[in-house]
Amino acid sequence: MLKFAETITEQPCKMESQPNRYRKNSSRQQHDTPSVDSLGRLAPRDIDVEAAVLGALMIEKDAYILVCDILKPESFYEPAHQRIYEAIQTLGASQKPIDLLTVTDQLKLNGTLEEVGGPAFVVRLTSNVASAANVEFHARIVAQKYLARELISFSSTIGSKAFDESLDVDDLLQEAEGKLFEISQRNVKKDVTQIDPVITSAIEQIQAAANRTSGLSGLESGFHELDKLTSGWQNSDLIIIAARPAMGKTAFVLSMAKNMAVNYNIPIAIFSLEMSNLQLVNRLISNVCELPGDKIKSGQLTPLEWEQLMVRIKYLNGAPMYIDDTASLSVFELRTKARRLVREHKVKMIIIDYLQLMNASGMKFGSREQEVRTISRSLKQLAKELNIPIIALSQLSRALESRGENKRPQLSDLRESGAIEQDADIVCFIHRPEYYYHSDTDPSGKDIRGLAEFIVAKHRSGAVKDVNMRFRANFARFENWIEEGADSFVEQRVSKLNPVDGQAVTPNVVLSGGTADYTTSSDEPTPF
């Protein structure tokens, strides 16, 4: 080391101006952000701290382990410092020693030694550092300065584009959201946690589940066999519910939303990308009031049906259910809205109908599969961040229709990306044999009238199993399966909404008309 240093001519210089002095046959690289903005302000940087970090990495053998997750080459403002850190990064990735000699050799191999100012500049970095004790703290300063420069560059670019009246403002907003999401993700770091507090939290969760009458640790869906299998929908889980068109995906989540919001008073949010909020509510009314959907749309109700509508719809009034029908919702918009819903309305679960209609605008992808991969990964990250379950509906590929007799869906049928299967904690399918057999019985003679198989095909923390449910097509409604048969089931369910007090709701008088004000308690009807 001494012999190496003696060969270098000592030239005192100021650290920030040093790279220009030593660089040969190379023009100074341009920064992502200008050194001086329009107001004459310098871009955020701290050259001395950058030099201290690089020097510490070369004098302390374990220092790189502390900063490798914090810094990357572009985090440094000086191009010379970027090249030196690239060399250090290469050595670290190869598990080679990092010191003055190895870094200098790596710079030679990279062809950037003269570009950074020669061996003299590298030596000067180490000579100005006495200790590597604060290298992690200094690295975070460098990272923060870099993020500040990125934000300045981003805001400058967006500001310039905003003055261009030929650009669509909505597209510009999507681009801005995408870029901000990228910048924010770079700064998302979570330190490791010692196991003791995690054990305490786990015990508290188990105790809370034991004290609940349902015996579930998660959110109740209202479907008893499904709740037993999953122990309720768990926080931070991404649940995918997939099916072919007309299988009843939306009907299922609406039935579940009704159970949770009305029966259990659990705040939920529904992002409907396929239907408007009015269409969704009409289907919900049909579900709750047990009135055919075509009658709801046409308004051709009998006096008794009108009374049934006015009595039962009161259960929806004030229910903690929030609907957003933004078309072509981006994952970045969803993130913003979800945070607000959780913060302002204490939402405990989010439902998305459906995943393939989402986009990741503002980001560029080589294929739709890559975009879907980004969407599914973002949904899982959002579920973890908000610590709530997120249920996303998904379409299945047409390959299922050409499989001959066996139309039961499987994981490989998930459309557009295998990342959906990988990112999800639970993957479920809805299968109605009656739809394919066009008969009341299957080939074995089993009665399949109203049968809906809810297939749990992937369960990260539990068993995989089929759960039978009953689908009432005229009301677009899913219900718990009752083994006694359809007749006893219908008899039990007449004019009943699963009210909280367990009492059936029945119309009290036969009316000749109805009232549009369902919040009033007046017995005097208003004619149509």
Which active-site residues does the annotation give? 274
Helices (H) and strands (E) in the chain, counts: 21, 9
Region at 290 (left for phi over 0; alpha for psi -120 to 50; beta for the rest)? left
Strands 426-431 and 238-243: parallel
CB-neighbour burial class of residue 147 (10 A; exposed 0-12, middle 13-18, buried 19+): middle
Return d(Cα 399, Cα 44) in angstroms, integer. Answer: 55
DSSP secondary structure of 188-256 = -------HHHHHHHHHHHHHHHHHSTT--SSB--S-HHHHHHHTSBPTT-EEEEEE-TTS-HHHHHHHH
The Cα–Cα gap between 248 and 461 comes to 26
β-pair type (426-431, 451-459): antiparallel
d(CA 240, CA 251): 15
Helix (H) or strand (E) holding 102: helix 100-110
Q: At what angle do helices 100-110 and 118-127 cross, to 10 degrees?
A: 150
Angle between helices 118-127 and 47-59 (to 10 degrees): 90
